[in-house]
Amino acid sequence: FRVEVTLVDINDHSPVFPNDRVTFKILETSEPGSRFPLEVARDLDIGRNTVQDYSISPETEYFTVSYGTGITGKKSLELVLEKPLDREKQAEMGFSVIAVDGGSPPRSGTTEINVVILDVNDNAPKFTQEEYIGKILENMPEGSVVLTVLANDPDAGVNGDITYQLSQAVGQSVSAFVIDHVTGEIKLTKPLDFEAAQMHELSVRATDGGGLSAICKVLVELVDVNDNAPELVVSSFSSPLPENTVVAVDADSGQNSWLSYHLLRATDPGLFSVGLQSGEVRLRRPVTERDSVKQKLLVLVRDNGKPPLSATAALSALLLKDFSDVRLPHSSPASEDQAASLTTYLIIALVFVSLLFLISTAVLVARKVCRRKELKAGHVLYAADTLQSGPADAAAAGTLPRAYCYEISLTTGSGNSEFRFLKPILPSLPPQHCAVGQGPEEEQDFPGVPVSTEDMAPDNAGALSAGQFNALSFS
């Protein structure tokens, strides 16, 4: 006979996935409903003991699994995106897909799913503040850091790389600031002046690698520094009494511009007073006849900075009884400059004339000294032929008194020596009775010569008159 044996399957095999771990890379811009295929699990059992269902553990709001039979009748398994992804919120997620068979008790198998969300440049940079405010001193040097702006971009890679630039500036801020393109530091390119502008407004643009950008506003407030001394509206003036005011302004602000007035000097310090805050100049006592008509005051104006800066004002006042015909002299800087120039020219002229006088005097003295030396260089002696009895006897004895001689000076160093007579003491003597010497050491007495009547007679042929005998030349 025939026997049939029927084997009844028991659930002795668990579902098994082909891969224990599967990684999906999904763009964060993927639309909900997008499907991502996953390989099904295998179960060697049959019938109800095969895989009956799939599930995700732990459950996630972003994905579900879809298991079914395709058009071809083949079983298929897919991950279905249920919600838009945001890489900036969650760049990566993991879960398990569980396959369960229909046995009793049921068996299951799992595979690990790792979802990596790919970045898309869907986020523009964002500044940490919509408006930045920085305060700096007006005297800060070039290169000083004013402040640092910061923008964040949650995108990854190049999409998250940010560069900074000044996109707009107001007034002189265009050239006064520069920004570091990487760090966002804003620095000074030149010193700033509080008196020129107290506030600077900038616009900074942050741009990521994908071209998206954001803009923020930067306000730079300058803190005043006491770098301006008080400036007098009228630094020196004359005015009639009894009252006037010294006016001064200070370009600084705050306490640096608070001014106080002080009387430094005055012709009569007890006659005037200056208001500490107002700068008003007032009389402290009645004017008397003993007071000087013209009064001069020097007023100091000081600000309240640290350290304080100051300026002075000079005032000139006339003490008069009637103001109707008052004409106060006003000296202009131009006339003072002309007077100073004229004084300079006069001094120069005086020095020049004095130099000419000294030079002329020196030349004259030198010439006189030279003439005296020339006179002492030689002597010529003449004997007298027609003399009175006293002198004649002396001549006969062989000696001629000096009172009856001419003394002349001979020049040396030339072939011919020319001499001139000085003023004669006695009438001229005949030339035959003369002797010549070349200096005091060569002088000698005339020898005794007999004087006859013929000698005393005038010789018209060989004698010269005093009028004709002016100069002789010797070889």
Residues 411-434: tens digit of each pLDDT: 444 444 444 444 444 444 444 444
Residues 128-170: tens digit of each pLDDT: 999 999 999 888 899 999 999 999 998 888 999 999 999 766 6
Rounded to 5°, the CA angle 152-154-157 comes to 105
3-state helix, strand, coil in the chain (%, to 5): 15, 35, 50
First to last CA, the chain: 200
pLDDT at 334: 54
Q: Is the pTM of this model over 0.75?
A: no
pLDDT at 368: 86
Q: Tokens 């570091």 belong to which residue?
A: 180
Q: Which residues contact 369 (CB under 8 A, 6 or more apart)?
A: none
Collapsed DSSP state (helix, strand, coil) of residue 461: coil
Low-confidence ranges of the chain (pLDDT < 70): 168-174, 226-229, 231-257, 320-339, 375-475
- In terms of Cα–Cα distance, which of 276, 267, 277 is closest to 241? 267
Q: Tokens 């920085």 belong to which residue?
A: 134
- In terms of Cα–Cα distance, which of 41, 39, 59 is closest to 107? 41
pLDDT at 212: 93
User: Residues 177, 169: contact at Cβ < 8 Å?
Assistant: yes
* Assigned token pair, 461: 């042929």
Query: Cis omega (within 30 of 0) on the bond before 15?
Result: no
User: Residues 178, 165: contact at Cβ < 8 Å?
Assistant: no
Domains and CATH numbers, the chain: 21-118 (2.60.40.60), 126-223 (2.60.40.60), 231-326 (2.60.40.60), 375-474 (no CATH)
User: Residues 111, 77: contact at Cβ < 8 Å?
Assistant: no
Query: Is the CA virtual torsion 355, 359, 364, 368 positive or negative?
Result: positive
Beta pairing partners, 113? 22, 95
